[in-house]
Amino acid sequence: MTTNAAGPGREFRERELHLNLFIYPGGHHEAAWRHSSSDPDRLLDIRFYQDLARSAEAVTFDGVFFADGPALADNVRYASRFRLEPFTWLSAIAAATERTGLIGTASTTYSEPYNLARLFASLDHLSGGRAGWNIVTTGAPQAAQNFGLDAHPVHAERYERARDFLEAVTKLWDSWEDEALVADQRSGLFADTDRIHTVDHEGPLLKVRGPLNIPRSPQGRPVYVQAGSSEDGRAFAARYAEAIFTAHQTLRSGQDFYADIKKRAARLGRDPGQLLVLPGISPFIASTEAEARRLHEDFNELTQPEYSLELLHRLLGIRLTPQQLDGPVPRELIETQGERGNGSRFQLVLDIVEREQPTVRQLLHRLAGARGHRVFAGTPEQVADQIQQWYEQGAADGFNVMPPWLPGGFDLFADHVVPILRERGLFRSAYTGRTLREHYGLARPASRYAPQGAAVSVA
């Protein structure tokens, strides 16, 4: 494995590249379901997803990741943008795998701490310590009415609740000490109730008594994963996150984010090496660069303007028509003030508009591949070069691999890119642990009720 600084102020140590498979129904390109290599009839077949997870495990990926949202995505008329409830799906995947991590999205805005703590604790026990929680505050305003609200809470309010929520669930996951479950058949003592604690959480927005009705899970608590890169998101991630999913179009942008988030964590007294930065990459892979570019163009030709323009409206707030596709993106119509302007994905797309001055069609094709995550077309060696450059030049600790289509897009990565990464000494050839924390090299947190200075294990 390569040796590099893990972050500002951290001693040089051995690093290990981390890779997750980000599973989206059909693939991440919006037209994936239309491509001849796709099989949309399998998109609701759990065996399809179990096979994908087994493929990820076969090449020792750290985890598989399922995104979720509590509302129907805009314009599902033209793309496979439904949502599979991740706990059900990941539980079925847990039964079909042994090592790969299981990361699912759950909203702090539209969930309650006690219910969510139970779900993730159950998944962690079920999988033998492989659960990760992708913490989101939910950006889709249409979710509000699904939960009896007249309006979606504004950005700052959602993050205030998220902080309160994290404090509450962390206390719940600690409410059973590791030694509380005794199960001594001879004495008849099942649980040491002196080691089970009410949490009596009273925050600015949430009140939870506890304790949790499930013993402490194998990892102590699931891995905290976070995906927001706004100012509020960065502050939240620096305090709580152990892995960050982020989107960047350029190496410089990735480096700036990486340095910023590690410094923020260090200022809060955290070890920056215990916070992983994992950008998304969606690779089109072929034996030559020209063939990879043609493959990318084939997918873009299958996009439908009605869907793409709706996505652009959601991201930038501007309504355009098919007649404007080959004209410049009207920068003067993009309003940077207000709620939308707080979003990190808004800023990413705005940066593309200002830096590259694309036509509307060109911008839509940029976004079609992975909704703002980096799309790269090239040979396996070129894809590996990109990953190595970002990893070694301070922009990433690893990547969320976002195949444009499934399963073929991932098969190409697994069969042709992973061997190159291994030859270069960047990626493992075998698992050395069983839990997601061990894969990520993260400490198992000691319970807040453990004696002061109690040791924590680090993979």
CA distances from 322 to 88, 225, 304 (A): 40, 38, 10
Return d(Cα 51, Cα 96) in angstroms, integer.
8
Alpha-carbon 163 to chain mean position: 18
338: region left, alpha or beta (phi > 0 left; psi from -120 to 50 alpha): left
What are the binding residues?
A: 68, 105, 155, 159, 229-230
Closest CA to 280 of 2, 17, 19: 19
Whose structure tokens read 């001594």? 184
Cβ atoms < 10 Å from Cβ of 160 = 17
**Number of alpha carbons in the 13 Å side-chain half-sphere of residue 142:** 8
Enter the tokens of residue 25: 């129904």
In 192-319, beta strands by DSSP E: 201-202, 207-208, 223-226, 243-246, 276-285
Cβ atoms < 10 Å from Cβ of 88 = 11
Return d(Cα 24, Cα 44) in angstroms, integer.
12
What are the binding residues for FMN?
A: 68, 105, 155, 159, 229-230
Return d(Cα 376, Cα 237) in angstroms, integer.
27
